[in-house]
Chain A
Amino acid sequence: MTTTTQTAVKSNTNLVSIAFVAFMGLSALFIAGFASSATLHDTAHDMRHAIGFACH
C-alpha cells in the first residue's frame, strides 16, 4: 500500500517536472522566435530567418 502510494507520488512529481521543462523550452522559443520586441527582432533576425520562422 505504502509502496504504491510512493510510486504514484513520484510519478506525479516526474510529470510536473517534465511539464515544467517543456514549458521553459517553449518560453525560450517564443522569446527568441516570435516576440515582436524591436530589440529582439534585430538581434535574433538572422537566426529567425535561418530556422524559417516568420520575421517581418
Chain B
Amino acid sequence: MLKNLVYSALFAGLAAGVIVAALTILLLVPLLLEAELYETGRLVHFGNVTAVTPDIEVEHDWARNGMTALFAATIYIGFAFVMVAAMAFAQEKGVRVTTRSGIFWGLAGFAAFQLAPAAGMAPELPGMIAAEITARQTWLVGTIAATAAGILAVVFGKNWIHWGVGLAVLAAPHIIGAPHPEVFGGTVPPELAAEFAGRSLAVGAVGWIAAGVLSAYFWLLENR
C-alpha cells in the first residue's frame, strides 16, 4: 500500500511538475521579470499620465529557471501526494476512482489550493503592496483547509446537514475576509498585474487537472 502510494504520487507529481515548469517559464516568468524592472525602479509608470508601453524583451536567467523547474516539481509532487492519499482514502470508503474522474479531483484541488485563495488575495507580482505576510499565510492555509473540507462534504455528503455544513465551511474564509493592505501604491502597472493574475490561474488549472488525471492513472496502474 505505502509503496504504491509513494510511487504513484512521485510519478504523477513529477510529470505534472514538468508541464507546469514549462508553462510557468513560458508564460509567467517573463511577467515576473518585467515586474521586477518596476520594483527596482528601472522602469516607472504613472497612473494619470499615459505612458507608452515599453517594448521590453526580458532576458531569461536559466539558472533561476532551473530552480523554478525544481520547485515546480517539488510543489506538484506535494500536491500529488495529497491527491493520491485522498483518492486512496476515498477508495477505502467505497468510492470508485477512475482516470476520467481524476479530472474532477484535479479541479477540486485547483479550487482548494488556488481558486478560492485567489478570490480573497489575487496572485501577486513583485512590487505590489500587500498586507503583512503572516496574516496572509494564515488566511491562505485556513482557506485551503476549509475549501478542501467543504468540497469533500458537498461531494460525498449524503444529506442536507452534510451539504449545508459543507457550503458554510466553503463560504467561511470569504465571510471572514482576506487581509488586504491599508494603502495602495504598488510600483507595477495594473495591466501587468491583471495579466499575471489571469495567467497564473490558467496555468494552475492546467497543472491541477494534469495532476488529478496523472495521480488517478498511476494510482490505478500501481494497484493493477
B-binding residues in A (CB < 8 A): 11, 13-15, 17-22, 24-29, 31-34, 43-44, 46-56
Produce 1/0 per residue, B62-90, CB < 8 A to A: 00110110111011011111111110110
Identify the 4 closest CB pairs spanning chains A and B, nearest first.
A25-B81, A52-B123, A28-B78, A22-B85
- Cβ-defined contact, A52 with B204, below 8 A: yes
A20 CB contacts on chain B under 8 angstroms: 2
Contacts A20-B2, A26-B78, A28-B81; A49 near B125 (Cβ below 8 A)? yes
- Cβ-defined contact, A34 with B72, below 8 A: no
A55 CB contacts on chain B under 8 angstroms: 124, 126
Cβ of B122 within 8 Å of any chain A Cβ, yes or no, is yes
Cβ of B29 within 8 Å of any chain A Cβ, yes or no, is yes
Within 94-116 of B, Cβ neighbours of A (below 8 Å) are at 113-114
Cα-based distance from A42 to B1 in the complex (angstroms): 37
- Cβ-defined contact, A21 with B204, below 8 A: no
Provide the main secondary structure of the chain B interface. Answer: helix
- Cβ-defined contact, B200 with A18, below 8 A: no
- Cβ-defined contact, B114 with A51, below 8 A: yes
- Cβ-defined contact, A52 with B29, below 8 A: no
- Cβ-defined contact, A28 with B74, below 8 A: yes
Closest to B136 in A: A54
- Cβ-defined contact, A49 with B75, below 8 A: no
A43 CB contacts on chain B under 8 angstroms: 67, 70-71
Cα-based distance from A26 to B37 in the complex (angstroms): 34
Cα-based distance from A14 to B223 in the complex (angstroms): 13
Cβ of B28 within 8 Å of any chain A Cβ, yes or no, is yes
Q: List 25 A-B contacts (CB under 8 A).
A: A14-B92, A21-B6, A24-B6, A25-B9, A25-B77, A25-B83, A26-B82, A29-B78, A31-B74, A32-B75, A43-B71, A46-B28, A46-B32, A46-B64, A46-B65, A47-B71, A47-B72, A49-B124, A51-B113, A51-B114, A51-B200, A52-B114, A54-B130, A54-B137, A54-B140
